[in-house]
Amino acid sequence: MTGKTKVLIRRHSVVTRITHWLNVAVVSLLLMSGLQIFNAHPALYWGAKSTFAEPWLSMSKQEIGGEAHGITTLGGLTFDTTGVFGWSGKAGMREVRGFPAWATLPSWRDLGSGRMWHFFLAWLFVANGLAYWLWGLAGGHIRKDMLPTRRQLRLSHILHEIGTHARFRFPKGDEARSYNVIQKFTYLAVIAVVLPLMVVTGLCMSPGFNATVPWLIDLFGGRQGARSVHFICAGLIVAFVLVHVALVIVSGAWNNMRAMITGKYAIETEREAA
């Protein structure tokens, strides 16, 4: 007779775990300090200049029917976001600001401090990312664990994985020993595209860097274009984190957290019954 038993396998190395948790802290604070900077001018444009009459995204206070409202525009859409975006805070204590106080670093309006925090944290983010990439390339982690196999690249396999995830059915047994194709595609998109793009567009907003590498900013159509791409990448990271946390919870919160803290992950295997 056979039965099921749980065994602990090595899922994450020490370097992966350290860089992961550092990224959690650094990216969170980077986002908050970035929103503080955004609040200095809560609108986004494409091109080299700020065309004030044509933002593709803006947050502002407007008087409607004699009452103040927070209005957020996105393309041709307009939303009343009173209390959150544009005109934020509790009733009777609201102020004009893009993102609310609880979402920014520092919580009060201080562009200088926001820029100081953002630039300091940006270097920590770059150093942490380089450490992960160098270790991952040297130790084979990226090649062995992150790149999809030929079998995983088959359309039938990709569609199967999408279907099982949509039904909240997650790998069990030996299949849980490695990342599935959706995880690999997602992680590669974030660490190889979105995060590096965040760094590059951030540099494009530095006058000193623009003077050294003037052609780079042209790739984004100008500084305002780079600022917009930077903001979009930040939004993609927030979306990734929200989905990631949700999947961690529904696929086994304790098992996933243990793996990222101790490196050990529990899977079910067949065992011979006496």
The reported pLDDT for the residue numbered 140 is 80
- List where CATH 1.20.950.20 sits in the chain: 2-39+104-272
For 204, residues 6+ apart whose C-beta sits below 8 A from its C-beta are 210, 216, 217, 220, 223, 226, 230
pTM of this prediction? Answer: 0.88
- Whether domain 2-39+104-272 has CATH 1.20.950.20: yes
> Does residue 176 carry a pLDDT above 90?
no
Confidence band, pLDDT 50/70/90 cuts, at residue 1 = very low
State mean pLDDT over 231-247. 93
Residue 256, token pair as written in the block: 């996933």
Residue 162, token pair as written in the block: 């999408």
Which has the closest alpha carbon to 37: 106, 88, 87, 95?
106
The reported pLDDT for the residue numbered 271 is 60
> Does residue 246 carry a pLDDT above 50?
yes
Dump pLDDT digits (tens) for 60-109.
Answer: 999 998 899 999 999 989 999 999 999 998 888 899 999 999 999 999 99
Query: What is the C-alpha separation between 107 and 127, in angstroms, rounded?
Result: 26
> Does residue 11 carry a pLDDT above 60?
yes
Amino acid identity of 244? H
